[in-house]
Amino acid sequence: MMEIQWNKSTCPYCGIGCSLIVGVKNGKVVNVHGMKGHPVNAGDICSLPVYFPPLFNADGRLTQPLMRRNNEHVPVGWDEAIAHVAGEFNRIIKKYGPDAVAFYGGAANLCEEYYLMNKLMKASIGTNNVECTARLCMSSTSIGFISTLGADAPPTCYADIEEADLFFIGGNNMAVSLPVLFRRVCAAKMKNNARVIVVDPRRTETADMADIHLQIKPGTDVALNNALAHILLKEGFVNEERVESYTTGLGDLKEIIGEYSPSRVAEITGCSEYQIIEAARMIGRAKAMLTFWFQGYNQSTQAVFKNNTLHNLSLLTGNFCRPGAGPLSVTGEANTLGNRWVGALSHLLPGMRLVTNSIHRQEVADYWGIPVEKIRSAPGRTIIDIIKGLHSGEIRALWVLSSNPAASLPHTRWVKEAIEKAELLVVQDIFHPTETTRLADVIFAGTQWCEKTGTFISSERRIELVEKVIEPPGTAKSDCEIIWLVARAMGFTEEFPYTSPEEIFEEWKGMTRGRICDMSGVSYERLRNQTGPQLPCPASDHPGTPRLFTDMRFPRPDGRAALLARDYKEPAETTTEEYPFVLITGRLASHFNTRTRTGRVKNLNDVEPANFIEIHPSDAVPIGIAEGDEVEVSSRRGSVRGAARLTDRMRTGNIYMNFHYGSAIDMVDDRLANLVCNPACDDHSKQPELKYCAVTLRKVVHAGKSL
């Protein structure tokens, strides 16, 4: 009998980056548990990675490449699949130009994978059409930080949780989405008698522990934040002279927030004036306020303004960049910060650089040894614009890696129709079918967590190595290898000479020198032997940097952060007589995103076997909907169905669905929330408004008839 071998790793699901121990026996992962003593999670873990072991040989696991022939996916050899993809990419680029191809990936990928993809697309091919799900998740946080602080640099760390005496949690159901961090917040609340303000249109599990729950009308956070700033200034909680020493824009801000009186904002938000004033006073009196915000902020057409007006509150009250105080930006997927820093969005270049900045382009071109003209100076298409480009014929080929856009993008019918128009759709996944692999011309069999090696950067800027501890099934290849093989087959042999992820890491590391994401002091060896440091970590004997901007100097031209005067505007779609309800979408504890993995685990499926729709009883009863009834939700774009759940946790007028249930596993086509969601985007971050669309409801009577 072989002994279990225990290996250090990091969770591949959410962006907290819990440190895990993976037990391997006879070449199989048999156990996953939290790593005791680690600064992130101290041994704690949630159910998602605990149930990872069944996924290594779950039904539908891809073990070899597949290609579509006569409308069926048939197994092929790697040489054939790679030669086909490289040949088609080259043909399409030659005929229509480099901007006719695009890449779209998930945000749980390793830094090394995105580094290669960026190099292939932005340097070798010469298009900036490189996107990832950070666009649906964190692009508003990223642009919010760039506009307020001057850089996409989350300044705080988890250790601030134990130092704070007030938590402001806006649009983040952390009890469900970030359970390990939530438990840390609850423990700190108990121990330090800290206060909690939760802003959410639903009375969530997170709101249950709040001292003040502002059950806001969806989409109205900018008005609320402006009212809080208004009261803070009016009631003398702001030391204006001191604030002006580290910020710009106080004058403009004061002018605009003058219009956000508590009484007016009570009307806009649906919260009581008294509650808004109490919340402002709680902020004013706090010694150290830590703010959390998430998709209730980011997935909105006012997302960047929501971010900016939240940061205004921290800046006005001096709650910035000292222990326990400041914005704590947690990411959704495991490597959403790493992917931003490696440049996996269409406006970015590696190392926190921008395609629009000529110095940045020159630095990158010099590093890659290419003429600077090769790198386009205009941002590429965002994912929503890639979909539009597929419809118009301007985009002809799309390569998807580790994402399931046919389920996770809004208005899925429109998305599927676009993808079907592509001359070539390549999907690199670990499972088939998914909603997206079903549409693919070529499916590459990639490898998942524990089957490949590379780095993740977690929400608190901590870099960790995740290593291969078991062999992948069949002939599945590491995602890096697939990329470099296609690149070489396209003719870029000199640019892609790699044989291991470590070589890629060492090359990428050089592009971070002197930047906030500096990892010059990091090596695979160091990560194997020590807890990963928080970046920047410029030297091998440097311990890492828990907090940024502690001297209150910011990477903006005058060194001061920006207080930003932002007006509230309504969401893109408003309710009408025909569409009288607002649909909010979000998450469940037992499933992750489009459920391609958690939907294949019995223990997780058993928690919530099917989709459901939460409705306030006062909305449901008058239209004849009772608990458990089959309900159809329709927007201007389509319809989705689920079982009614009546709950007074909703505001009247709002209904809620999760977006986990697609069609690939359950083989039903009408359960996916994104059939109805709105692709309208924030002007600044281009992040879609997944949290708000106008819908109508009806009870479905079985045998296809409806009331």
Ligand X SMILES: Nc1nc2c(c(=O)[nH]1)N[C@H]1C(S)=C(S)[C@@H](COP(=O)(O)OP(=O)(O)OC[C@H]3O[C@@H](n4cnc5c(=O)[nH]c(N)nc54)[C@H](O)[C@@H]3O)O[C@H]1N2
Is there a contact between 674 and 643 (Cβ–Cβ < 8 Å)?
no
Is there a contact between 602 and 652 (Cβ–Cβ < 8 Å)?
no
Q: Which residue is nearest to Mo ion (CB)?
A: 332
Least CB distance from residue 236 to ligand SF4, whole Å? 40
431 binds ligand X, rule: CB under 6 A = yes
Positions 46 through 65 that interact with ligand SF4 (CB under 6 A): 46, 48-49
Least CB distance from residue 550 to ligand X, whole Å? 28
Which tokens hold the place of 401? 């890696």
216 binds ligand X, rule: CB under 6 A = yes
10 Å Cβ neighbour count for 704? 6
- Best CA proximity match to 511, nearest among 349, 299, 704: 349
Select from 604, 690, 694, 695 the one that contacts ligand X (CB under 6 A). 690
- DSSP notation for 298-335: HSSTTHHHHHHHHHHHHHHTT-SSBTTBEE----SBTT
Of 50 and 76, the one with the shorter C-beta distance to ligand SF4 is 50
16 binds ligand SF4, rule: CB under 6 A = yes
691 binds ligand X, rule: CB under 6 A = yes
Which residue has 């009890």 as its token pair?
Answer: 175
Tell me how far apart the alpha carbons of residues 380 and 347 are, in angstroms, rounded to a whole number.
6
Tell me how far apart the alpha carbons of residues 444 and 401 are, in angstroms, rounded to a whole number.
9
Select from 22, 24, 29, 45 the one that contacts ligand SF4 (CB under 6 A). 45
Least CB distance from residue 178 to ligand SF4, whole Å? 6
Select from 492, 592, 612, 661 the one that contacts ligand X (CB under 6 A). 592
The stretch near ligand X (CB under 6 A) out of 75-83, 183-191, 585-593, 633-641 is 585-593
Please state, in angstroms and as integers, the Cα–Cα distance from residue 100 to each residue in 370, 371, 388, 440, 490, following that order.
Answer: 21, 21, 12, 17, 16
Tell me how far apart the alpha carbons of residues 427 and 434 are, in angstroms, rounded to a whole number.
10
- Best CA proximity match to 229, nearest among 248, 253, 245: 253
Q: Is the dihedral of CA 201, 202, 206, 209 positive or negative?
A: positive
Least CB distance from residue 664 to ligand SF4, whole Å? 22
The stretch near Mo ion (CB under 5 A) out of 252-260, 273-281, 324-332, 468-476 is 324-332
Of 93 and 137, the one with the shorter C-beta distance to Mo ion is 137
The stretch near ligand X (CB under 6 A) out of 168-176, 282-290, 373-381, 461-469 is 168-176
Site size for ligand X (CB under 6 A): 61
Any residues with CB less than 8 A from the CB of 609 and at least 6 apart, and which? none
Of 266 and 406, the one with the shorter C-beta distance to Mo ion is 406
Tell me how far apart the alpha carbons of residues 232 and 142 are, in angstroms, rounded to a whole number.
26
Any residues with CB less than 8 A from the CB of 69 and at least 6 apart, and which? none
Least CB distance from residue 296 to ligand X, whole Å? 2
634 binds ligand X, rule: CB under 6 A = no
Least CB distance from residue 334 to ligand SF4, whole Å? 7
Q: Which does 326 bind (CB under 5 to 8 A by kind): ligand SF4, Mo ion, ligand X, none?
A: none
Of 51 and 612, the one with the shorter C-beta distance to ligand SF4 is 51
β-pairing, 195-199 vs 166-170, is: parallel
Least CB distance from residue 19 to ligand SF4, whole Å? 9
Q: Which does 611 bind (CB under 5 to 8 A by kind): Mo ion, ligand SF4, ligand X, none?
A: none
Please state, in angstroms and as integers, the Cα–Cα distance from residue 595 to each residue in 336, 604, 662, 678, following that order.
Answer: 18, 10, 8, 21
β-pairing, 705-706 vs 693-701, is: antiparallel
Select from 34, 155, 219, 679 the one that contacts ligand X (CB under 6 A). 219
10 Å Cβ neighbour count for 685? 25
The stretch near ligand SF4 (CB under 6 A) out of 134-142, 173-181, 339-347, 613-621 is 173-181
Select from 170, 318, 332, 351 the one that contacts Mo ion (CB under 5 A). 332
β-pairing, 630-634 vs 639-646, is: antiparallel
561 binds ligand SF4, rule: CB under 6 A = no
15 binds Mo ion, rule: CB under 5 A = no
Select from 29, 86, 164, 180 the one that contacts ligand SF4 (CB under 6 A). 180
The stretch near ligand SF4 (CB under 6 A) out of 40-48, 53-61, 91-99, 148-156 is 40-48
Rg (CA), the chain: 24
Select from 179, 218, 389, 410 the one that contacts ligand SF4 (CB under 6 A). 179
Least CB distance from residue 188 to ligand SF4, whole Å? 16
Any residues with CB less than 8 A from the CB of 391 and at least 6 apart, and which? 414, 417, 418, 421
Which tokens hold the place of 199? 């802003």
Which neighbouring-strand residues pair with 197?
168, 212
Positions 118 through 157 that interact with Mo ion (CB under 5 A): 137
Least CB distance from residue 343 to ligand SF4, whole Å? 24
Tell me how far apart the alpha carbons of residues 601 and 603 are, in angstroms, rounded to a whole number.
6
Tell me how far apart the alpha carbons of residues 633 and 677 are, in angstroms, rounded to a whole number.
11
Peptide bond between residue 536 and the one before it cis (omega within 30 degrees of 0): yes
Any residues with CB less than 8 A from the CB of 241 and at least 6 apart, and which? none
- Continuous segment of H or E residues that includes residue 114: helix 111-118
134 binds ligand SF4, rule: CB under 6 A = no
674 binds ligand X, rule: CB under 6 A = yes
Q: What does the binding site for ligand X look like in residue numbers (CB under 6 A)?
A: 14, 106-108, 133, 136-137, 170-174, 176-177, 199-202, 204, 216, 218-219, 221, 294-296, 299-300, 332-333, 401-405, 408, 428-431, 434, 446, 448, 479, 584-587, 589, 591-594, 596-597, 659, 673-674, 677, 690-691
Q: What does the binding site for ligand SF4 look like in residue numbers (CB under 6 A)?
A: 11, 13-14, 16-18, 41, 45-46, 48-49, 178-180
